[in-house]
Amino acid sequence: MISDHADWNELTTTIAATGAETVWVTHGREDALVHWCRQRGLAAEPLYLQGREEDLSE
């Protein structure tokens, strides 16, 4: 799945609907979505991307 700024409900609904077993989270509240996935038995990892302006300002 590729998502650009989908909201929480859209993301979680799509993850559940696809039957994904592994989820890589690259933007937004990475830890929250990784936690949600793991609570449902999915393999999930944050994938921090180099060079994102938002990441540089933190």
Residue 22 CA to residue 32 CA, distance in Å, equals 15
CA 38 to chain centre: 11
Q: What pLDDT does 17 receive?
A: 95
Scanning 1-58, the segments in alpha helix (DSSP H) are: 8-18, 30-39, 53-56
One digit per residue, pLDDT tens: the chain, 58 residues? 666 667 889 889 999 999 999 999 887 788 999 999 999 999 999 987 777 555 455 5
Q: What pLDDT does 57 receive?
A: 56
In 3D space, the residue among 37, 38, 32 whose CA is nearest the CA of residue 1 turns out to be 37
**Which strand (E) or helix (H) includes residue 8?**
helix 8-18
Residue 45: which region, alpha, beta or left (left: phi > 0; alpha: psi -120 to 50)? beta
